[in-house]
Amino acid sequence: MTSTSAVALNLDGYTDLPLGKIATIVTYLKMRKPPDRSPIQQPQAWTLQRIDHDRPRYRSLFRAVGEPWLWFSRAMMPDDQLAAILDDPKVEAYALHDGTGDVGLLELDFRPDDEVELAFLGLVPGFIGKGAGRFLMNEAIRRAFTRPAQRFFVHTCTLDSPGALTFYMRSGFTPYRRAIEVADDPRLHGFLPREAAPHIPLLVPQT
């Protein structure tokens, strides 16, 4: 990974990042109880299929959903660490299957005491705007509150789809915290292809 010295963060202006680094604003959101919502009519072919123990399928779907937005956490995660998460009985990972292939990812983490994290929710390119995101969110909320949970929480960032934050808020989540995340650009280390997320310029360190 890139080796850099510490950079002081300017909270009242700009902070230059070393080449090879990316930065994003993270917004954390929470929900205390499920909102009153009518169920949507889902196409008969749509099914949610558990993929916790199918590591190749999980990685393939995570990449298909997340690569356009530079999702790098699981893309960079070694197999043993990923297995430790997905093999935990308190973690549930689902593929939304439309009858021909996997088109969406939903992952819920019940490991925190009295809380549930919406770890991942996303759709493959070309499937946004067809009601699948609302279907997955409704399922996420329903499943989260089938157990005694004091809080259902999620975070999103400015690398994600521009509509993600408002989608979460419309779904009943309330923002409560903001943070800055700085990381190595995963495209420079081969975890994602260099053409991934073209809306985020790839700045290559000079040699």
pLDDT tens digits, 151-170 = 999 999 999 998 999 999 99
Is 69 within a domain? yes
Kindly report the pTM of this predicted structure: 0.91
Residue 17 belongs to some domain of the structure:
no
Which CATH number do you get for residue 65? 3.40.630.30
Mean pLDDT computed over every residue of the chain: 92
Q: At what angle do helices 79-86 and 55-66 cross, to 10 degrees?
A: 100
CA distance 140 to 110: 12
Q: What is the pLDDT of residue 42?
A: 77
Complete edge-to-edge strand list for the sheet that includes strand 21-31 = 47-50, 91-97, 102-109, 115-123, 151-157, 21-31, 174-184
The answer to the question of residue 18 being in a domain is: no
pLDDT band at 129 (very low <50, low <70, confident <90, very high): confident
What does the block give as tokens for 59? 């990685």
- pLDDT 10s digits, 14-69: 999 988 999 999 999 999 999 987 667 778 889 999 999 999 999 999 999 999 99
Supply the DSSP symbol for 68: G
Residue 113 clears pLDDT 50, i.e. is over it: yes
What does the DSSP 8-state code read for residue 40?
A: P
Residue 203 lies in a domain: no
CA distance 63 to 159: 15
pLDDT attached to residue 8: 81
For residue 97, what are the contacts with CB-CB under 8 A and spacing of at least 6?
Answer: 46, 47, 48, 49, 103
pLDDT of residue 190: 94
Please check whether residue 4 lies inside any domain of the structure. no
pLDDT value of residue 38: 67
Q: Is the pLDDT at 78 greater than 60, yes or no?
A: yes
Specify if 59 maps to a domain: yes
Cα angle vertex 84, ends 78, 86, to 5°? Answer: 100
pLDDT of 2 reads: 45
| Burial class, 125, CB count within 10 angstroms (exposed 0-12 / middle 13-18 / buried 19+) | exposed
Q: For residue 93, give its domain range.
A: 23-34+43-187
Number of other residues whose CB lies within 10 A of the CB of residue 97: 17
Question: pLDDT category, 3, cuts 50, 70, 90?
Answer: very low
| pLDDT of residue 5 exceeding 90 | no
Strand partners, 26: 157, 179
Tell me if 155 is assigned to some domain. Answer: yes
Q: Is residue 11 part of a domain?
A: no
How far apart CA 36 and CA 124 sit, in angstroms, is 28
Cα gap 50→47, rounded to integer Å? 10
Task: Give yes or no for residue 1 having a pLDDT over 80.
Answer: no
Rounded to an integer, the average pLDDT of 172-198 is: 95
DSSP state of 158: T
If one counts the domains in the chain, the total is: 1
